[in-house]
């Protein structure tokens, strides 16, 4: 099978919510020398973007989206361990999580893996993370990077609450803050006093590695 066909099969596996195929073609992509990151970006993520569009147009409903997410995770479980890792000597400690009220964690998990592969020591707080867990991470986890994700508009304010909490407890200047997820942007990051916004995991690595 050609690389192009494998990527198209991964995309289709997510769109149709077929976890078995997602796993099968993820393995096939590795066997055929397709880079894990390409299989994720040009296969699985592409499929999930189409699922998102269909959901927005009411062509898909939550059960289909759940099946698609499940299929996406099937492929990710195979591919993420194959992202090449850098050995970065003394490690920067980072914490990452999805802000309170939001359970969308697929993108966060990709960003976590990419930052880990880039040599950071990432502590994963998971999803629906209380504000104070992020705020206390500088003292508790010795974090010098906080990465926050949200895909929902109503939960964006949680990011500002984290920045405000860090200012209040005197830790804001000890930590860099990067945010991401579809409703966020660099102007929003500037507005709430975060350091960076990144559109995807690759850009997150570039911004963090460039500065830290």
Whose Cβ is closer to ligand B12: residue 20's or residue 66's? 66
In the bound complex, what is the minimum distance in angstroms from residue 24's beta carbon to ligand B12?
Answer: 20
For residue 103, give the 3-state DSSP assignment: coil
| 54 CB-near residues (< 8 Å, 6+ apart) | 15, 60, 64
Q: How far is the C-alpha of 93 from the C-alpha of 183, rounded, in Å?
A: 26
Smallest distance from ligand B12 to CB 164, Å: 18
Asked if residues 67 and 61 have their Cβ atoms less than 8 Å apart, the reply is no
To 10 degrees, what angle do helices 62-79 and 19-31 make? Answer: 30
Residues found near ligand B12 in the complex (CB under 6 A) = 45, 48, 51-52, 55-56, 62, 65-66, 69, 101-108, 110-111, 147-149, 151-154, 178-183, 198, 200-201, 204
CB of 19 to ligand B12, least distance (A): 13
Please, what is the minimum distance in Å from the beta carbon of residue 109 to ligand B12?
A: 8
The 8-class DSSP code of residue 197 comes to E
Whichever of 1 and 66 has its CB closer to ligand B12, that residue is 66
2 or 62: whose CB is closer to ligand B12?
Answer: 62
């Amino acid at each position: 099978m050609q690389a192009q066909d494998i990527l198209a099969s991964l995309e289709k596996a997510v769109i149709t919510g077929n976890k078995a195929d997602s796993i099968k073609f993820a393995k096939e992509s590795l066997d055929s020398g397709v880079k894990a990151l390409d299989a994720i970006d040009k296969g699985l993520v592409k499929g999930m973007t189409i699922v998102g569009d269909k959901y927005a147009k009411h062509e898909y409903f939550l059960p289909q989206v759940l099946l698609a997410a499940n299929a996406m995770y099937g492929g990710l479980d195979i591919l993420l361990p194959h992202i090449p890792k850098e050995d970065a000597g003394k490690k920067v400690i980072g914490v990452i999580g999805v802000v309170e009220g939001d359970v969308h964690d697929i993108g966060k998990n990709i960003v976590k893996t990419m930052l880990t592969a880039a040599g950071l020591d990432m502590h994963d707080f998971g999803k629906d993370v209380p504000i104070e867990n992020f705020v206390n991470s500088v003292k508790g986890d010795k974090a010098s990077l906080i990465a926050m994700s949200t895909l929902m508009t109503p939960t964006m304010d949680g990011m500002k609450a984290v920045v405000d909490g860090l200012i209040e407890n005197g830790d804001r200047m000890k930590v860099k803050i990067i945010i991401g997820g579809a409703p966020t942007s660099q102007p929003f990051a500037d507005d709430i006093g975060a350091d960076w916004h990144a559109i995807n995991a690759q850009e997150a690595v570039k911004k963090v590695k460039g500065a830290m």
